[in-house]
Structure 1
Amino acid sequence: MAAGVNGGSGDTRSRWWARAAVLAVVAAVVVLLVAVGGGGVVIVLSGLAGLVVSATGVWWTVARRGTLRWLGALLMVGAPVGLLVLYVRSGLWVTALAAVALWVVALGCGRAALRPSHRRHVMRGETRRAPRRPVILMNPASGGGKVERFGLVEHAERLGARVILLEPCDDDTQVLGLARQAVSDGADLLGVAGGDGTQAQVAGIAAEHDLPFLVVPAGTRNHFAMDLGLDRGDPSLSLAALTHGEEVRVDLGDVNGRAFVNTVSFGVYAQVVQRPEYRDAKAETALDVMPDLLHESGPRLDATVDGALLPSQQALLVSNNPYIRPDPFTGRRARLDKGELGVIGVRVDSAAGAADIALRGSMSDSLNVLTARRVDVVGGDGDTMPVAVDGEALTLATPVTCTLRHRTLRVRVPRDRPGAPVVAPAVDWRRILELALRGRSHD
């Protein structure tokens, strides 16, 4: 699936990057130990205290209203500023700067050690004959008007595709109806120029009829296109797949019978996006409703992850294949054909919980990062619950069940595409130390 596997030279590079990371950590510790009489302990303790205070400020900003919210914002910004002032006034800034710089170098080298040797991740597929009757649904409103801005209609029609323009009033049922009608009329490829939500719905129809599916990233974020290695900067380049393309088989998520290509969100985020004002005022809406959702008496979710109970979560995110790091908003997935759901559960009831995540990351008890084949979610007392599927606000019957249809979606992509940037996984110091100590005989 990936474009290459680390060979001997890749192992050698990884080993030396790991050694550089370990040396940088040792150097940072030495700098602080040498400066113990001149404030090394002060730097460490004040740095940890500043991180805790800043995390507390973030919690109060999003989970409280009124005076506490303003105080939280002050702490969030004031803690790092206060540390800087402390270091400058006490003459510790040179030592602190050296220690921080060495730690940054250590993190950079550690990530380089864990990152695959190839620079881009490209899913290679199989060559298939070009479609004869391709049909592409295009949403002119997506991505601020990318369909018109990049001339996608004209470009697709020149390449022999039939284009169906979606209307602003078209709901999911109408979009699915248009896709099914295109299949009935003889389409041998279905495509979508739009956001991930529309992509997923039409992808489900394509998979149902074993037709190739074309992704034209004309939405806002286009996470699915990114992980396929497509060029999100110019969606018209994806249309080259109509004449010079290949097919890759990827997994397709299923949530209560509905297809998804990226994520299904439950809890806090799902309830925020249900608000009609969210689309036009995201930050303001989130700050308005988050205190009620994050309160100790706020809504909770219970999930069963491959039969194991994950109780009382405030937020739960299930992804079509796991993200490399638990950050689906800016991160990416290494593969789309692994046959596993990614699961991220969060429960933060207090400022202490927020500080724990800030200090311990994915090791915190407030954050659960798992993989699974099946996830069942229940929450509240009703028969339905709010869910965000690929960013679309929905209400589904409980229990909500997430599974994967393994390698069921045939995606037609251009042979010449940039690929997705290779992202190193979260820094695993045990793995880095193993690499650093590995001898040549183990290569």
Structure 2
Amino acid sequence: MASIVGLFVPFGGAGLVILVSGLAALCLGAAGVWWFLAHRGLTRLLGALLAIAAPAALLYLYIHGGLWSTAMVALALWAVALGCARMALRRSERARRPVPAPRPRRPVLLMNPKSGDGKVERFGLVEKAERLGAKVVVLSPGPDGEFMDVAELARTAVTEGADLLGVAGGDGTQALVAAVAAEHDLPFLVISAGTRNHFAMDLGLDRTDPARCLDALTDGEELRVDLGDVAGRPFVNTVSFGVYADVVQRPEYRAAKAETALNLLPDLLAGGAGRRLDAAADHARLPGQQALLVSNNPYDAPDPLGGGFRPRLDSGTLGVIGIRVDGAAQAAALAVRGTQSAGLNVLTARRVEVTADAGTMPVAVDGEALTMPTPVVCTLRPRALRVLVPRDRPGSMPATEPLSWRRVAALAFNRYRREATGGAVGEGESRD
């Protein structure tokens, strides 16, 4: 409320100018981004210019119109409001606390020397793990250039008496070995030696120094987390369908990600080459989606690019984000309205079924390009995976509810009524 009052009470009409111009710049910028991504040639160039010119013109208006200080005050108050709202919605049901874990006697760690541009060698992970008593299997390519079957290596380690399995590598490799660990009810160790390490981040592990993950071998504790399943294949992070999955299928994507995406997106978004997907998330229907992201537990913010954070990994539910944008107007609406836009669906489910017109569809599982027969079904195995983590995890974050201003207002109103009535709460009212 203070952010709104700060705009309109002391500054009169200036508040309306700030609000309207800010929304206009946001809409124009979003439209420009859409034209840049969905077209080629002159239209792409004009879209790029518009995406740059809209915020630049807004800054010029604020600075030369004497509105800069007003806008900054309103922005600061809005940031405070968001922070307070998130504090108010802090979950009463937190993720389950880790429990003390005994030191493994025969840990076996699989390490990919190519992952993360050579983090295994750069951080001396093989030598450090062996000093801590672990057996290390360094993955190497075979005659065909493909790496060894990590799931089969993990099963061999189990038959030879391993009491812990671990991986230093990307999330796709992590998932395959994690499934073997879950199958035999063994603890699993995540070593953040991949490129982006989403799973490690959401576990609170140190992504800047993967060697710190090895501390779990001598001073660790255990978490129970969910393990995703897509058509019989495990996943620890996300399964992507539609535009992103189509892009990562291209062989040139690994060498030139941005260039490949820019070359393909016009055909996938606006040229008719991209397939539309229909999905059923439990009983909810999502028809004609251009992109669909299914995550092992929901993200704290609907970020289709994967830059969000999962506060919990043991809720037993899948996160679902569906996107359908058919033009610049819908792109602008998505930028302004966010999750309230018709182009963005954000929900949770225990089972997601994805169908398409073709008999098979491209699927990106933890970033790995695959092709699967339709329909494709995603589910979760609740708390199936025992994860061994160090006691000191610098990235641990408290769990929060998704931001809902309606619930914030309800909490505030109920508290006011309790104070006014001396602490009594009416029947059926919230006690949050």
Query: Shared topology, TM-score over 0.5?
Result: yes
Matched residue type, 2:5: V
Change (3 A) 1:24 1:85: closer
| 1:180 equivalent among 132, 155, 163 | 155
For residue 365 of structure 1, what is the aligned residue in structure 2? Answer: 342
Q: Are 1:408 and 2:384 matched, yes or no?
A: yes
Change over 3 Å in CA distance of 1:123–1:222 after alignment to 2: farther
Find the residue that maps to 1:277 and give its secondary structure. helix
TM-aligned CA distance change 1:417 to 1:40, over 3 Å: closer
Alignment correspondent of 1:325: 301
Match of 1:257 in 2: 232
Deviation readout 1:206-264 (Å, 9 max, x if unpaired): 11111111111111111111111212221111112222222211110001111000000
Q: How much does 1:177 deviate?
A: 1.6
Q: Distance in 1 between matches of 2:198 and 2:225?
A: 14
The range that moved more, 104-113 or 301-310, is 104-113
CA drift at 1:93: 3.7
Name 2:428's counterpart in structure 1.
none
2:280 corresponds to: 304
Provide Cα deviations, 1:80-137, integer angstroms capped at 9, x if missing partner. Answer: 11122233444444444443343334334433444569xxx98632223222211100
Structure 1: stretches of 5+ with no match in the other structure: 1-21
Shift of 1:168: 4.1
| Cα deviation, residue 425, structure 1 | 4.9
Supply the distance in 2 between the matched residues of 1:354 and 1:95 (Cα, whole angstroms).
28
1:28–1:102 Cα contact (<8 Å) kept = no
* 8 Å Cα contact 2:292/2:320 also seen in 1: yes
Answer whether contact 2:95 2:314 (CA < 8 A) is retained: no
Q: Tell me the amino acid that sits aligned with residue 290 of structure 2.
A: Q
Please say if 1:284 is aligned against 2:259. yes
* Alignment partner of 1:141 out of 96, 104, 114: 114
Does residue 424 of structure 2 align to residue 429 of structure 1? no
Q: What amino acid is aligned across from residue 325 of structure 2 in structure 1?
A: V
Contact 1:122 1:420 in 2 (8 A): no
Tell me the residue number matched to 1:128: 101
* Alignment deviations for residues 148-170 of structure 1 (CA, whole Å, 9 cap, x no partner): 11111011111111100011457
Q: Do structure 1's residue 222 and structure 2's residue 203 form an aligned pair?
A: no
- Aligned pair partner of 2:222 in 214, 238, 247: 247
RMSD: 2.3
Q: Is 1:24 matched up with 2:38?
A: no
Out of 40, 55, 67, which is 1:80 matched to?
55
| 1:134/1:188 contact within 8 Å kept | yes
Instruction: Find the residue that maps to 1:71 and give its secondary structure.
Output: helix
Q: How far is 1:54 from its partner?
A: 0.6
The amino acid across from 2:34 in the alignment is W
- Flag the 1:82–1:149 CA change in 2: closer, same or farther, 3 A: same
Check the 8 A contact 2:35/2:43 in 1, yes or no.
Answer: yes
CA distance in structure 2 between the aligned counterparts of 1:108 and 1:149, rounded to whole angstroms: 39
Letter in 1 for 2:248: V
8 A contact 2:141–2:148 mirrored in 1: no
Distance change in 2, residues 1:25/1:433 (3 Å): farther
* Residues 1:337 and 2:314 are matched in the alignment: yes
CA contact (8 A) 1:196 1:390 kept: yes
Q: Is the contact made by 1:321 and 1:336 (CA closer than 8 Å) also made in structure 2? A: yes
Corresponding pairs, count: 415
Q: CA 1:80–1:133 in 2, change beyond 3 Å: closer, same or farther?
A: same
Q: Which amino acid aligns with 1:204?
A: A
Deviation at 1:180, TM superposition (A): 1.4
Change (3 A) 1:423 1:82: farther
Task: Give distance in 1, aligned partners of 2:315 and 2:87.
Answer: 24
User: Matches of 1:28 and 1:431 in 2, distance apart?
Assistant: 24
Structure 2 equivalent of residue 110 of structure 1: 85
Q: CA contact under 8 A between 1:123 and 1:228: conserved in structure 2? A: no
Contact 2:188 2:387 in 1 (8 A): yes
TM-score by length of 2: 0.90
Q: Percent identity?
A: 64
Tell me which amino acid in the other structure corresponds to 1:140: P
Q: Secondary structure at the match of 1:288?
A: helix
Does the CA-based 8 Å contact 2:116-2:193 persist in structure 1?
yes
Query: Conserved in 2, the CA contact under 8 Å of 1:272 and 1:285?
Result: yes
Distance across 1 between alignment mates of 2:17 and 2:405: 25
Aligned partner (choices 32, 42, 45) of residue 70 of structure 1: 45
